[in-house]
Amino acid sequence: MPLVQVHLRAGKDAPYRQALLDGIYRAMRETFNVPEGDEFMTLTEHDAANFRNGGSYLGIPRSDDLVIIRITANNTRSLEQKKALYAAITKTLGEHPGVRPEDVFVSLVEVPKENWSMGLGQAPYA
């Protein structure tokens, strides 16, 4: 049950934004055991004054096309699955819509399974 939040600078067209969401979802399905239909995602655009990045932090030259992806998920995946997810997202977004590998920033936030309520005031994973 990942919850995905994508942040980028404003100005990309709707097909580009949709390709980001589609690519991330496909990568999660391929590497993170995400079932069909488990798709809870938001995308937020920020104007230049409200979107900054560490231009070359850790020796990675980022551009204004940086895409920040925050994934909140159950703490049930192995290190190998996490690495596979990062690689798959980067590869998929590179293919379409054409995001440079240097501009794919992923933050995975892991939570206990009981920390979810997806409706009806119930905790289905508790």
Tell me the residue length of the chain: 126
Q: How far apart are CA 6 and CA 45, in angstroms?
A: 8
Those residues with Cβ within 8 angstroms of residue 55's Cβ, 6 or more apart along the chain or in another chain: 61, 62
Choose, from 2, 35, 61, 124, the residue flagged as catalytic: 2
Is 97 known to be catalytic? no
| Residue 53 in tokens | 């990045």
Is the peptide bond prior to 101 cis by the omega test (within 30 degrees of 0)?
no
Residues annotated catalytic, as ranges: 2
